[in-house]
Structure 1
């Protein structure tokens, strides 16, 4: 495989089209199948998910054919994308949390759901953002973007669930994408309590990004007010919008910037180490009943916050405070899901892979199970003969450095059928 994840192409000679090796094709096919299983494996492709209510997490689509020109946004489940919107212009939204399928409700003027038509007019608890119109990031562009020549990863914020270009997050993602979750600039600003945890838990970015680097065309990046409202909802807390600073500082806080409880001084190296040790011990107390609010023990000075995205390792959610006061705050900010490890995309993908592995069966074993003993032995013998002969046939091409073409495979099976006919024609039958 090439470094960019695409199959390497071999030159079949001057004037010939480049060809892929069989191994390249199989590896690419396996990678695509694994990705599809991860995203779609936990969804039912036959039944509308509406009766399940607001599903914790599911793959969603938006139909540009049924809700064009930025009309009322709507989301549909996997099964409805197949059965009710076949041939339509669909936007793949990956996964969203706590969403109930809209297919055929009042948002669709001329379409009735074929799988579950008995729906309420609207799903009042659904949340929508610009993704439902096929645009993403602060740049509000489609993906893939035919006008964007820059190779860049799109990363999903686990709070607002919008997707962002890595270069528009204010801080370069850690090398090799070595992080579990990302929280965008807008959501960090809205949920400012997270800066206290970022000082000790978040993964430092590779480098900070200036506004000029984020957008070569403009010196400043502006966050559209309507975008913020679309992400957060009308009743959400106030957030800051407008111009971004010329240069963005790192969000990760030095030990001496942490205000420790009881007025403890952190001016000396000893006190700094003690303070860091106390907080580290506090963050390790996962899952146990809390007598102390972790957040109150980790107050962050105003200068420690920065207008950047943050990157978080696996299991970081388990370190969040779960005292009653913090839970009330999470509820007000509509981020109570942060305490739920099963809310993560990773947990959803693992569920899909496990479910798919359980349901999938080897086709050979399926065929064998429907045969009697004699037929089973005959099939296994034929299979082993085919495997041996095909391996020997392909081995000659490998030794001579030749490319296997379609006509070569066709010739192999023609020869195989011919030998089988000669064998059958030469058999003699006797009656006793």
Structure 2
């Protein structure tokens, strides 16, 4: 073998990454932290139906039970595990003010195992094509096996649909932090937001047209019940990367600012008869900030808009603007707990409150101590496996007394080993 090849192999061996037990646990902890952020502290054991119209929760649609030929329906996290195991599910990430449909009148043959006593329908739920696994103005599945164009998907905070970046009219900003997006269709409906965008919005990269679709104009289609309002519910935006993983979760949440007017959100779940409106106190003689923003408004562009984390705090809260928000179904914009960042922070906080004690112990150990712990663990696993194997071979049932005896013998062996150790001092 040539000397250069030997040096190359030696260098490759030296550059090979060596992971310690602590590295593995830290990586696992990061994955758990991300998963908890995506699930937003949703309960994996109890159906969310008794909570009413939950402010924000992880949701799924079952293509097995409610295919495209049926009415759209959404199920909570717990029902996706307990009632729809093995079914074809669409992950919807998060929806606002939604009540679990599992087992209600939309499911012809399935009864909810966790909470079977449900009304026939949830009149205030809002649905779109996402519930049938279709997204964006191109109405394509995610991930799309026929789409070879690398692109990220972004969720509109108004219509809750996910859009390819190339179908938004302007591409998402590059190397610039933005927290929320309002799609082109919703901007055309909520035209007053253009005034705020002129000063508060984050500029997109370039103006583009959705050439890959046959639609001449961007529309947001909703399937609603007869009692449901005509305005779509609003969710906050998060980047959904084109992989099989859940949408990308932002690692940090920027501090929220305090609105000029006193606001407080209704924390009680809706009972299906009242809406989850935001209670807001309005100053009688407050000047309209929207009019001030309109003075500097430039030419209106027909495209999506991108917003920083603090933009909601700048929204006017005068009496006329409050009526405007109500007419467009946008009162949630004044709710500090509405954002995806607040939703994810709730999930992450539960991770912090339930830190693994083993992880904390290993963090304070030296490399040698970590290796010793691993050896002790492997010895314990081997001895316990051999001990239980004897019961299996003899067809005996393991009793609690047998387990106690095992650990007593283990402690006794450890004491004898320590007593026989020789100590040297210099």
Scaled by the length of structure 1, the TM-score of the pair is 0.66
Gaps of 5+ in 1: 1-10, 14-18, 239-282, 367-379, 394-408
- Larger RCO (CA under 8 A, 6+ residues apart): 2
CA gap of 1:315–1:25, structure 2 versus 1, over 3 A, is: same
In structure 2, how many angstroms separate the alpha carbons of the residues matched to 1:81 and 1:284?
A: 38
Alignment of 1:82-231 (within 5 A): 82-176=81-175, 178-209=177-208, 211=209, 214-215=210-211, 217=212, 221-223=215-217, 227-230=220-223
2:315 matched to 1:341? no
Structure 1's 108 and 12: CA in aligned 2 closer, same or farther, altered over 3 A? farther
- Matched with 1:350 is 345
**Cα deviation 1:398-426 (Å, max 9, x = unaligned):** xxxxxxxxxxx989x98xx9xx9899579
From 356, 360, 370, give the equivalent of 1:387.
370
| Structure 1 residue 341 displacement after superposition | 1.8
Structure 2: runs of 5 or more not aligned:
1-7, 11-15, 233-256, 263-282, 386-410, 421-426
CA contact (8 A) 1:157 1:183 kept: yes
Deviation sequence 1:89-148 (CA, Å, 0-9, x none): 111000110000001100111111111111100000000011000111111111111111
- The DSSP-based 3-state class of the residue aligned with 2:90 is strand
Q: Taking structure 1 as reference, are residues 118 and 229 closer, same or farther at Cα in structure 2, changes over 3 Å only?
A: closer
**Distance (whole Å) between structure 1 residues aligned to residue 166 and residue 29 of structure 2:** 30
Superposition CA RMSD, Å: 4.0
Match of 2:291, SS state, is helix
Alignment of 1:402-421 (within 5 A): none
Matches of 1:285 and 1:92 in 2, distance apart?
34
Higher helix proportion (structure 1 or 2): 1
Distance 1:28 1:165, change over 3 A: farther
Q: State the distance in 2 between where 1:232 and 1:110 align.
A: 21
Matches of 1:350 and 1:12 in 2, distance apart? Answer: 46
Q: Which residue of 1 aligns with 2:408?
A: none
Q: CA distance change for structure 1 residues 296 and 384 in 2, over 3 Å: closer, same or farther?
A: closer
1:22 to 19, 44, 65: 19
User: What is the CA-CA distance between 1:29 and the residue it aligns to?
Assistant: 3.8
Contact kept in structure 2, 1:138 and 1:223, CA below 8 Å? no
Q: Give the secondary-structure state (helix, strand or coil) at the position aligned to 2:126.
A: coil
Q: 2:32: which partner in 1?
A: 33
CA contact (8 A) 1:70 1:133 kept: no
Matches of 1:156 and 1:353, distance apart in 2: 21
* TM-score, structure 2 normalization: 0.67
* Structure 1 SS opposite 2:175: helix
Answer whether contact 2:202 2:308 (CA < 8 A) is retained: yes
Give the 3 Å change call, closer, same or farther, for CA 303–318 of structure 1 in structure 2. closer
Q: Count residues in correspondence.
A: 330
CA shift for structure 1 position 231: 8.3
Aligned residue for 1:348, secondary structure, equals helix
Q: Do the aligned partners of residues 70 and 338 (structure 1) sit closer, same or farther apart at CA in structure 2, a change above 3 Å counting?
A: farther
